[in-house]
A and B are shown apart, each in its own frame.
Chain A
Amino acid sequence: MLSIRNLSKTYASGFSALKDVSLDIAPGEIFALLGPNGAGKTTLISIVCGLVRPTGGSATIGGHDILHDYRAARALVGLVPQELTTDAFETVFATVSFSRGLFGKPRDPARIEQILRDLSLWDKKDNKIITLSGGMKRRVLIAKALSHEPRMLFLDEPTAGVDVELRHDMWRVVRGLRDKGVTIILTTHYLEEAEEMADRIGVIQRGELILVEEKRALMQKLGRKHLILELAEPVAAVPPALAAFGLERSEDGTTLTFAYDGGPSRVGDLLRELPAAGVQVRDLKTEESSLEDIFVGLVRGK
């Protein structure tokens, strides 16, 4: 659906916002682009959507080049920007209808009504946007982006500053769109959001795409699991018989922690050898790295 090849953006000041980025996104996929502030997420989206001119490379949407065949390419795309930029004095219905026209679609009040109902905006249809809360304005931006029935939706930090209820509402909407075959690319600071929704994850840092991976594979490959053994009696040191497992002893000696990755583990071996090593376990629990832990590790260069 989206194919990016060696895309670069260097500003006149010499600052490289994007360096040789290549990426392919399949139809119907939810792709989360993660990265710290200023990493190049918005620049990448802005180039693909036509807001920023690339200084190198190319991109196609649905096979249409974003520069040479921009009409066909842009007609497939909806963009929800990061900033709450709206026409303050327009009504909700008018501004969403305007967006539909802008993308070359004839008026369709029934279609607009459906979009507004899906986003719980129908009862606000005659309200001026200036009177809406921040969360409602965010919904209006999504409604505008969906007004022309795009095949690909860019969500640039869609849930920034919205409450938990609205965030879950938006996740529901996004999943509904994916079910209809819409490709979704979202940038987010909420790793929980990427973990909850994305099929694949890309991590961008200092303008470079440093990783693209299936979410499950990423969490399996880079995620760490911990088996925490709570001991019946504290130990003064890790028994020599268990040295091969690289256990970590707590300061008070009441717990031993076994860290292992997402691949084949030696948990069974460890449990079998505990009695022989004279260790009695009172309880045990496991902990798993979150996407947040993985992300922090990646951007810190671990």
Chain B
Amino acid sequence: MNIHAIAAIYRFEMARTGRTLLQSIVAPVVSTSLYFVVFGSAIGSHMNEIAGVSYGAFIVPGLIMLGLLTQSISNASFGIYFPRFVGTIYELLSAPVSPLETVIAYVGAAATKSTMLALITLATAAFFVDLRIDHPFWMIGFMLLTAITFSLFGFIIGIWADNFEKLQLIPLLIVTPLTFLGGSFYSIDMLPPFWRTVTLFNPVVYLVSGFRWSFFGASDIHVGVSLGMTLAFMLACMAIVFWIFRTGYRLKR
């Protein structure tokens, strides 16, 4: 295992976060605070409790998940796309670094950054609402699992994209709508039966539901199913990454 290479890439990626602190950390915290002001305080104060939880507290897991998903994808996709775009990828491809080490470094850094952001969002939320976390171990577990899984997904997008528009395409047109429609701001039990069935095809539902269970001990879907679906998505992403390195897709001519 080329530990020095993993450390070098990881440090490089984390240093990039440091250089873009405002964009990486401050902007998402500000936008999350706005969500709490609008949905938590202004609208939430007129909403009924959901499953015995105030609406402001109910949306916390969904909001954290929204940031976790988008930041994991954004960090990982940009991390691998930018060297491809400017041409510095030559150095990685000519170095004695295995595909596994490359993925550990890039995905590890992206997941670290998005997890840090999720924890900051959680701390920010605590200023606006009374929070309780029934299963902190599982909360951290779901957070890490989601960060790693969607960083892998972002890594795939970063390899697939051949321009900046494509880099934004999937996060904007697919991931964000799926997150909003995945029960981030409501319980899927509130939907009519038909739309509830349709919603079950949305993988984000399982992430949000499992994560919410770790906070309040109640969820729309059994936590085991949520865990299983998240792991299945992670395995699918791993299989695609394995295929990318085996074939050299978009990396080697």
Q: Which of B61-109 touch A at CB < 8 Å?
A: 86-88, 90-98
Q: A53-B248, A94-B15 are in contact. Are A103 and B253 (CB under 8 A)?
A: no
Contact in complex: B87, A85 (CB < 8 Å): yes
Cross-chain contact of A144 among B5, B86, B91, B248 (Cβ < 8 A): B91
Minimum distance in angstroms from A217 CB to a CB of chain B:
32
Cross-chain contact of A53 among B4, B15, B252 (Cβ < 8 A): B252
Q: In the complex, which of the residues B19, B252, B253 has the most CB atoms of chain A within 10 Å of its own CB atom?
A: B253
Closest to B20 in A: A89
Q: Which of B3-40 touch A at CB < 8 Å?
A: 4-5, 7-9, 11-12, 15, 19
Q: Which of A57-110 touch B at CB < 8 Å?
A: 70-75, 77, 79, 81, 83, 85-90, 94, 97-106
Q: Is A52 an interface residue (CB 8 A)?
A: yes
Cross-chain contact of B253 among A11, A102, A104 (Cβ < 8 A): A11
Cross-chain contact of A81 among B4, B90, B248 (Cβ < 8 A): B90
Minimum distance in angstroms from A25 CB to a CB of chain B:
17
Q: B12 — which chain A residues lie within 8 A by C-beta?
A: 90, 98
Q: Is B48 an interface residue (CB 8 A)?
A: no
Q: A74-B95, A74-B96, A94-B15 are in contact. Are A79 and B90 (CB under 8 A)?
A: yes
Q: A51-B252, A52-B252, A98-B12 are in contact. Are A103 and B5 (CB under 8 A)?
A: yes
Q: Is A56 an interface residue (CB 8 A)?
A: no
Shortest Cβ-Cβ A-B pairs, 4 listed: A101-B8, A85-B87, A71-B96, A49-B94
Contact in complex: A71, B2 (CB < 8 Å): yes
Total contacting residues, chain B, CB less than 8 A: 25
Minimum distance in angstroms from B250 CB to a CB of chain A:
13
How far is A105 from B94 in the complex, measured between Cα atoms in Å? 15
Q: Is A297 an interface residue (CB 8 A)?
A: no
Besides A49-B93, A85-B88, 20 new A-B residue pairs in contact (Cβ under 8 A), listed by A number:
A46-B253, A51-B90, A51-B252, A70-B96, A71-B2, A71-B96, A73-B96, A74-B95, A79-B90, A79-B94, A85-B87, A85-B90, A98-B12, A101-B7, A101-B11, A102-B4, A102-B91, A103-B95, A104-B4, A144-B91
How far is A105 from B8 in the complex, measured between Cα atoms in Å? 10
Contact in complex: A86, B90 (CB < 8 Å): no
Q: B252 — which chain A residues lie within 8 A by C-beta?
A: 50-53
Q: A52-B253, A72-B96 are in contact. Are A89 and B86 (CB under 8 A)?
A: no
Q: A85-B87, A94-B15, A102-B8 are in contact. Are A51 and B93 (CB under 8 A)?
A: yes
How far is A81 from B87 in the complex, measured between Cα atoms in Å? 10
How far is A179 from B110 in the complex, measured between Cα atoms in Å? 43
How far is A52 from B93 in the complex, measured between Cα atoms in Å? 9
How far is A79 from B95 in the complex, measured between Cα atoms in Å? 10
A-B contact pairs, 13 of them (CB 8 A): A11-B253, A51-B93, A53-B248, A74-B94, A81-B90, A86-B88, A88-B86, A90-B12, A98-B11, A101-B9, A102-B4, A103-B5, A104-B4
Residues on B lying within 8 angstroms of A by beta carbon are 2, 4-5, 7-9, 11-12, 15, 19, 86-88, 90-98, 248, 252-253
Q: B93 — which chain A residues lie within 8 A by C-beta?
A: 49-51
Contact in complex: B96, A104 (CB < 8 Å): yes
Residues on A lying within 8 angstroms of B by beta carbon are 11, 46, 49-53, 70-75, 77, 79, 81, 83, 85-90, 94, 97-106, 144
Cross-chain contact of A103 among B7, B87, B96 (Cβ < 8 A): B96
How far is A97 from B11 in the complex, measured between Cα atoms in Å? 11
Q: B5 — which chain A residues lie within 8 A by C-beta?
A: 101-104
Minimum distance in angstroms from A146 CB to a CB of chain B:
13
How far is A72 from B96 in the complex, measured between Cα atoms in Å? 7
Q: A50-B94, A51-B94 are in contact. Are A104 and B2 (CB under 8 A)?
A: yes
How far is A50 from B86 in the complex, measured between Cα atoms in Å? 18
Contact in complex: B9, A102 (CB < 8 Å): yes
Cross-chain contact of A83 among B7, B87, B96, B97 (Cβ < 8 A): B87
Minimum distance in angstroms from B252 CB to a CB of chain A:
5
Contact in complex: B97, A102 (CB < 8 Å): yes
Minimum distance in angstroms from A194 CB to a CB of chain B:
24
Contact in complex: B96, A51 (CB < 8 Å): no
Minimum distance in angstroms from A156 CB to a CB of chain B:
10
How far is A74 from B94 in the complex, measured between Cα atoms in Å? 7
Cross-chain contact of B96 among A75, A86, A90, A106 (Cβ < 8 A): A75
Q: A99 — which chain B residues lie within 8 A by C-beta?
A: 91
How far is A89 from B4 in the complex, measured between Cα atoms in Å? 22
